[in-house]
Amino acid sequence: MREIVVGGAQLGPIQRADSRAAVVERMLALLERAAKEGCGMVVYPELALTTFFPRHWMEEQAEIDAWFETEMPGDATRPLFDRARALGIAISFGYAERTPEDRHFNTSILTDRAARIVGTYRKVHLPGHSEYDADRAFQHLEKRYFEPGDLGFPVWRNLDAWMGMCICNDRRWPEVYREMGLQGVELIVLGYNTPSVNSQNGAEGLEQRLYHSELSMTAGAYQNATWVVGVAKAGEEDGHPLMAGSIIVDPNGYVVARAEGEGDELIVHACDMDRCTFGKTTIFDFARHRRTEHYGRITSQTGVVHPE
Protein backbone atom coordinates (compact mmCIF):
# COMPACT_ATOMS: atom_id res chain seq x y z
CA MET A 1 0.00 0.00 0.00
CA ARG A 2 1.32 3.45 -0.99
CA GLU A 3 -0.77 5.59 1.33
CA ILE A 4 -0.54 9.37 1.62
CA VAL A 5 -2.71 11.07 4.21
CA VAL A 6 -3.73 14.24 2.37
CA GLY A 7 -5.12 17.38 3.94
CA GLY A 8 -7.17 19.85 1.93
CA ALA A 9 -6.61 23.20 3.64
CA GLN A 10 -9.56 25.36 2.62
CA LEU A 11 -9.12 29.05 3.39
CA GLY A 12 -11.88 31.44 4.28
CA PRO A 13 -11.92 34.93 2.77
CA ILE A 14 -8.78 37.04 2.50
CA GLN A 15 -9.56 40.75 2.37
CA ARG A 16 -7.66 43.23 0.24
CA ALA A 17 -6.17 44.81 3.34
CA ASP A 18 -4.91 41.52 4.84
CA SER A 19 -1.14 41.14 4.90
CA ARG A 20 0.69 38.11 3.57
CA ALA A 21 2.10 37.52 7.04
CA ALA A 22 -1.42 37.29 8.50
CA VAL A 23 -2.47 34.82 5.79
CA VAL A 24 0.61 32.67 6.33
CA GLU A 25 -0.25 32.50 10.04
CA ARG A 26 -3.62 31.01 9.06
CA MET A 27 -1.92 28.58 6.70
CA LEU A 28 0.44 27.57 9.52
CA ALA A 29 -2.49 26.93 11.85
CA LEU A 30 -4.00 24.55 9.29
CA LEU A 31 -0.60 22.91 8.82
CA GLU A 32 -0.34 22.26 12.56
CA ARG A 33 -3.82 20.77 12.53
CA ALA A 34 -2.81 18.58 9.60
CA ALA A 35 0.25 17.34 11.47
CA LYS A 36 -1.99 16.22 14.35
CA GLU A 37 -4.16 14.37 11.81
CA GLY A 38 -1.10 12.53 10.50
CA CYS A 39 -1.04 14.25 7.11
CA GLY A 40 1.94 13.74 4.83
CA MET A 41 0.74 16.38 2.40
CA VAL A 42 -1.33 19.57 2.63
CA VAL A 43 -2.97 21.33 -0.33
CA TYR A 44 -3.96 25.03 -0.18
CA PRO A 45 -6.04 27.07 -2.67
CA GLU A 46 -5.27 29.14 -5.74
CA LEU A 47 -3.83 32.60 -4.94
CA ALA A 48 -3.57 31.49 -1.33
CA LEU A 49 -1.50 34.46 -0.15
CA THR A 50 -3.82 37.29 -1.19
CA THR A 51 -7.36 38.25 -1.96
CA PHE A 52 -8.54 37.37 -5.46
CA PHE A 53 -7.14 40.62 -6.83
CA PRO A 54 -8.21 40.08 -10.49
CA ARG A 55 -11.69 41.27 -9.45
CA HIS A 56 -10.20 44.78 -9.11
CA TRP A 57 -9.35 47.09 -12.01
CA MET A 58 -5.82 48.47 -11.71
CA GLU A 59 -3.89 50.54 -14.26
CA GLU A 60 -0.56 51.27 -12.59
CA GLN A 61 1.92 48.45 -13.10
CA ALA A 62 3.45 49.04 -9.67
CA GLU A 63 0.05 48.52 -8.06
CA ILE A 64 -0.42 45.32 -10.03
CA ASP A 65 3.07 44.00 -9.27
CA ALA A 66 2.49 44.44 -5.54
CA TRP A 67 0.27 41.33 -5.64
CA PHE A 68 3.01 39.16 -7.16
CA GLU A 69 5.82 37.12 -5.61
CA THR A 70 9.27 37.48 -7.15
CA GLU A 71 10.78 34.55 -5.23
CA MET A 72 9.51 31.40 -3.59
CA PRO A 73 9.96 31.09 -0.74
CA GLY A 74 10.18 34.78 0.07
CA ASP A 75 10.26 36.56 3.40
CA ALA A 76 6.53 36.12 4.02
CA THR A 77 6.32 32.46 3.01
CA ARG A 78 9.59 31.20 4.50
CA PRO A 79 7.94 30.39 7.88
CA LEU A 80 5.51 28.08 6.07
CA PHE A 81 8.34 26.27 4.30
CA ASP A 82 10.38 26.04 7.50
CA ARG A 83 7.53 24.57 9.51
CA ALA A 84 6.52 22.16 6.74
CA ARG A 85 10.13 20.94 6.63
CA ALA A 86 10.24 20.50 10.40
CA LEU A 87 6.98 18.51 10.33
CA GLY A 88 7.98 16.50 7.27
CA ILE A 89 4.84 17.53 5.34
CA ALA A 90 4.76 18.22 1.61
CA ILE A 91 2.72 21.27 0.60
CA SER A 92 1.11 22.74 -2.51
CA PHE A 93 -0.34 26.23 -2.86
CA GLY A 94 -1.08 28.87 -5.45
CA TYR A 95 0.23 32.41 -5.78
CA ALA A 96 0.82 35.18 -8.33
CA GLU A 97 4.31 34.73 -9.82
CA ARG A 98 6.44 37.47 -11.38
CA THR A 99 9.48 36.00 -13.09
CA PRO A 100 12.95 37.57 -13.41
CA GLU A 101 11.98 38.31 -17.04
CA ASP A 102 8.98 40.32 -15.75
CA ARG A 103 6.41 37.78 -16.87
CA HIS A 104 3.27 37.28 -14.79
CA PHE A 105 1.60 33.94 -14.11
CA ASN A 106 -1.05 32.37 -11.90
CA THR A 107 1.13 29.65 -10.42
CA SER A 108 1.11 26.67 -8.06
CA ILE A 109 4.06 24.86 -6.54
CA LEU A 110 4.54 21.40 -5.08
CA THR A 111 7.16 20.48 -2.47
CA ASP A 112 8.51 17.28 -1.03
CA ARG A 113 8.63 16.52 2.69
CA ALA A 114 11.86 18.52 3.01
CA ALA A 115 10.12 21.65 1.64
CA ARG A 116 12.08 21.50 -1.61
CA ILE A 117 10.07 22.68 -4.62
CA VAL A 118 9.77 19.66 -6.92
CA GLY A 119 7.12 21.00 -9.30
CA THR A 120 5.81 24.29 -10.70
CA TYR A 121 2.62 24.71 -12.68
CA ARG A 122 1.28 27.84 -14.40
CA LYS A 123 -2.44 28.16 -15.08
CA VAL A 124 -3.26 27.51 -18.73
CA HIS A 125 -7.01 28.21 -19.04
CA LEU A 126 -7.39 31.83 -17.96
CA PRO A 127 -11.06 32.90 -17.66
CA GLY A 128 -12.50 36.37 -17.72
CA HIS A 129 -11.51 39.38 -19.81
CA SER A 130 -8.70 41.92 -20.23
CA GLU A 131 -10.54 45.24 -20.50
CA TYR A 132 -12.84 47.00 -18.06
CA ASP A 133 -16.45 45.81 -18.37
CA ALA A 134 -18.94 48.36 -17.05
CA ASP A 135 -21.80 45.83 -17.22
CA ARG A 136 -20.24 43.48 -14.68
CA ALA A 137 -20.94 43.57 -10.93
CA PHE A 138 -17.24 42.88 -10.46
CA GLN A 139 -14.34 42.45 -12.83
CA HIS A 140 -12.61 39.15 -13.70
CA LEU A 141 -9.31 40.32 -15.10
CA GLU A 142 -7.10 37.24 -15.16
CA LYS A 143 -6.46 37.82 -18.87
CA ARG A 144 -5.20 41.31 -17.98
CA TYR A 145 -2.89 40.40 -15.13
CA PHE A 146 -1.61 36.94 -16.16
CA GLU A 147 -0.16 35.23 -19.21
CA PRO A 148 -1.41 31.74 -20.10
CA GLY A 149 0.82 29.13 -18.54
CA ASP A 150 3.79 27.96 -20.60
CA LEU A 151 4.73 24.73 -18.82
CA GLY A 152 1.97 22.41 -19.99
CA PHE A 153 0.68 19.72 -17.62
CA PRO A 154 3.70 17.83 -16.28
CA VAL A 155 3.69 15.23 -13.50
CA TRP A 156 6.34 14.63 -10.87
CA ARG A 157 7.38 11.71 -8.72
CA ASN A 158 6.83 12.78 -5.12
CA LEU A 159 6.10 10.82 -1.93
CA ASP A 160 6.32 7.61 -3.99
CA ALA A 161 3.47 8.71 -6.27
CA TRP A 162 2.98 10.47 -9.60
CA MET A 163 1.54 13.92 -8.89
CA GLY A 164 0.21 16.71 -11.07
CA MET A 165 -1.34 20.14 -10.62
CA CYS A 166 -3.87 22.42 -12.24
CA ILE A 167 -5.65 25.59 -11.13
CA CYS A 168 -9.32 26.64 -10.89
CA ASN A 169 -10.79 26.96 -14.41
CA ASP A 170 -8.39 24.24 -15.61
CA ARG A 171 -10.48 21.72 -13.67
CA ARG A 172 -13.36 22.16 -16.12
CA TRP A 173 -11.36 21.01 -19.15
CA PRO A 174 -11.16 17.22 -19.68
CA GLU A 175 -7.95 17.61 -21.69
CA VAL A 176 -6.18 18.70 -18.50
CA TYR A 177 -6.84 15.42 -16.70
CA ARG A 178 -6.12 13.35 -19.82
CA GLU A 179 -2.74 15.05 -20.37
CA MET A 180 -1.72 14.04 -16.88
CA GLY A 181 -3.51 10.70 -17.11
CA LEU A 182 -1.37 9.76 -20.11
CA GLN A 183 1.66 10.31 -17.86
CA GLY A 184 0.30 7.94 -15.23
CA VAL A 185 -0.79 10.58 -12.73
CA GLU A 186 -2.08 9.21 -9.42
CA LEU A 187 -2.81 12.42 -7.51
CA ILE A 188 -3.93 15.74 -8.99
CA VAL A 189 -3.99 18.71 -6.63
CA LEU A 190 -5.74 21.95 -7.50
CA GLY A 191 -6.87 25.14 -5.85
CA TYR A 192 -9.61 27.52 -6.90
CA ASN A 193 -11.19 30.91 -6.17
CA THR A 194 -14.63 30.57 -7.77
CA PRO A 195 -17.39 33.20 -7.36
CA SER A 196 -20.60 31.97 -5.79
CA VAL A 197 -22.64 33.93 -8.34
CA ASN A 198 -22.25 35.14 -11.90
CA SER A 199 -24.26 37.35 -14.22
CA GLN A 200 -26.28 34.42 -15.53
CA ASN A 201 -27.31 32.50 -12.44
CA GLY A 202 -27.50 35.03 -9.60
CA ALA A 203 -27.37 33.96 -5.98
CA GLU A 204 -29.77 31.08 -6.56
CA GLY A 205 -27.20 29.42 -8.85
CA LEU A 206 -24.78 28.42 -6.08
CA GLU A 207 -26.04 24.85 -5.95
CA GLN A 208 -25.53 24.50 -9.70
CA ARG A 209 -22.04 26.00 -9.56
CA LEU A 210 -21.01 23.65 -6.75
CA TYR A 211 -22.42 20.71 -8.72
CA HIS A 212 -20.49 21.64 -11.86
CA SER A 213 -17.29 22.08 -9.87
CA GLU A 214 -17.70 18.67 -8.28
CA LEU A 215 -18.75 17.05 -11.55
CA SER A 216 -15.60 18.27 -13.29
CA MET A 217 -13.35 16.81 -10.62
CA THR A 218 -15.17 13.52 -10.11
CA ALA A 219 -15.32 12.86 -13.86
CA GLY A 220 -11.64 13.69 -14.28
CA ALA A 221 -10.73 11.39 -11.40
CA TYR A 222 -12.78 8.46 -12.70
CA GLN A 223 -11.82 8.77 -16.37
CA ASN A 224 -8.12 8.86 -15.52
CA ALA A 225 -8.14 6.61 -12.42
CA THR A 226 -6.53 9.21 -10.20
CA TRP A 227 -7.10 10.89 -6.86
CA VAL A 228 -8.13 14.54 -7.14
CA VAL A 229 -7.88 17.06 -4.31
CA GLY A 230 -9.74 20.31 -4.99
CA VAL A 231 -9.35 23.09 -2.41
CA ALA A 232 -11.25 26.38 -2.32
CA LYS A 233 -10.78 29.87 -1.06
CA ALA A 234 -14.27 30.67 0.17
CA GLY A 235 -16.52 33.23 1.82
CA GLU A 236 -17.02 36.94 1.20
CA GLU A 237 -13.89 38.73 0.02
CA ASP A 238 -14.12 42.50 -0.32
CA GLY A 239 -17.89 42.18 -0.59
CA HIS A 240 -17.77 39.46 -3.25
CA PRO A 241 -18.69 35.86 -2.33
CA LEU A 242 -16.52 32.87 -3.23
CA MET A 243 -17.95 29.37 -3.10
CA ALA A 244 -16.44 26.62 -0.98
CA GLY A 245 -16.98 22.95 -1.84
CA SER A 246 -13.46 21.60 -1.22
CA ILE A 247 -13.38 17.86 -1.85
CA ILE A 248 -11.12 14.84 -2.06
CA VAL A 249 -12.11 12.39 -4.82
CA ASP A 250 -10.99 8.77 -5.13
CA PRO A 251 -9.96 7.07 -8.42
CA ASN A 252 -13.50 5.74 -8.89
CA GLY A 253 -14.92 9.26 -8.85
CA TYR A 254 -16.39 9.09 -5.34
CA VAL A 255 -16.13 12.08 -2.99
CA VAL A 256 -14.47 10.74 0.16
CA ALA A 257 -14.05 14.03 2.06
CA ARG A 258 -15.94 17.30 1.80
CA ALA A 259 -15.66 20.71 3.49
CA GLU A 260 -18.69 21.74 5.54
CA GLY A 261 -18.35 25.52 5.73
CA GLU A 262 -16.88 28.63 4.10
CA GLY A 263 -14.07 29.34 6.53
CA ASP A 264 -10.61 27.97 7.28
CA GLU A 265 -11.14 24.22 7.36
CA LEU A 266 -9.13 21.03 6.97
CA ILE A 267 -10.48 17.95 5.22
CA VAL A 268 -8.43 14.76 5.50
CA HIS A 269 -8.32 11.39 3.80
CA ALA A 270 -5.81 8.54 3.63
CA CYS A 271 -5.27 8.13 -0.12
CA ASP A 272 -3.90 4.76 -1.27
CA MET A 273 -2.13 5.31 -4.59
CA ASP A 274 -2.44 1.61 -5.43
CA ARG A 275 -6.21 2.12 -5.79
CA CYS A 276 -5.42 3.79 -9.13
CA THR A 277 -4.15 0.53 -10.59
CA PHE A 278 -7.45 -1.16 -11.48
CA GLY A 279 -8.78 1.79 -13.44
CA LYS A 280 -5.48 2.30 -15.25
CA THR A 281 -5.05 -1.35 -16.22
CA THR A 282 -8.62 -2.61 -16.67
CA ILE A 283 -11.32 0.07 -17.05
CA PHE A 284 -9.21 2.63 -18.92
CA ASP A 285 -6.28 0.71 -20.34
CA PHE A 286 -5.09 3.54 -22.58
CA ALA A 287 -2.44 1.48 -24.36
CA ARG A 288 -4.99 -1.08 -25.55
CA HIS A 289 -8.13 0.95 -26.10
CA ARG A 290 -7.37 4.54 -27.17
CA ARG A 291 -7.90 5.29 -30.89
CA THR A 292 -5.81 8.39 -31.45
CA GLU A 293 -6.43 8.39 -35.22
CA HIS A 294 -9.94 9.68 -34.46
CA TYR A 295 -9.00 12.42 -31.98
CA GLY A 296 -7.19 14.90 -34.24
CA ARG A 297 -9.93 17.52 -34.05
CA ILE A 298 -9.25 17.97 -30.33
CA THR A 299 -5.90 19.63 -30.98
CA SER A 300 -6.40 20.94 -34.53
CA GLN A 301 -9.20 23.42 -33.74
CA THR A 302 -10.45 25.54 -30.84
CA GLY A 303 -14.02 26.76 -31.44
CA VAL A 304 -16.94 24.75 -32.82
CA VAL A 305 -16.93 24.12 -36.57
CA HIS A 306 -20.07 22.52 -37.99
CA PRO A 307 -19.69 19.91 -40.74
CA GLU A 308 -20.33 21.29 -44.20
Q: For this structure, is 46 an active site residue?
A: yes
- 39, 97, 123, 142: which is the annotated catalytic residue? 123
Q: Give the DSSP letter of residue 54.
A: G
Q: For this structure, is 25 an active site residue?
A: no
- Answer whether 3's CB lies under 8 Å from 227's CB: no
- 39, 166, 168, 276: which is the annotated catalytic residue? 168
The beta strands (E) that lie in the chain are given as: 3-10, 41-43, 90-98, 104-111, 117-122, 155-158, 161-167, 187-192, 227-232, 235-237, 240-242, 247-249, 255-258, 265-272
- 46, 97, 186, 262: which is the annotated catalytic residue? 46
H-type alpha helices, the chain: 20-36, 61-65, 78-87, 142-145, 174-181, 206-224, 277-278, 286-289, 296-300
Distances (CA, A) of 48 to 75, 207, 228, 287: 15, 24, 18, 38
Supply φ then ψ for residue 151, to 5 degrees. -110, 0
Q: How far apart are CA 198 and CA 208, in angstroms?
A: 11
Strands 235-237 and 255-258: unpaired
HSE of 174 in the Cβ direction (CA atoms, 13 Å)? 7
Which positions are catalytic? Answer: 46, 123, 168
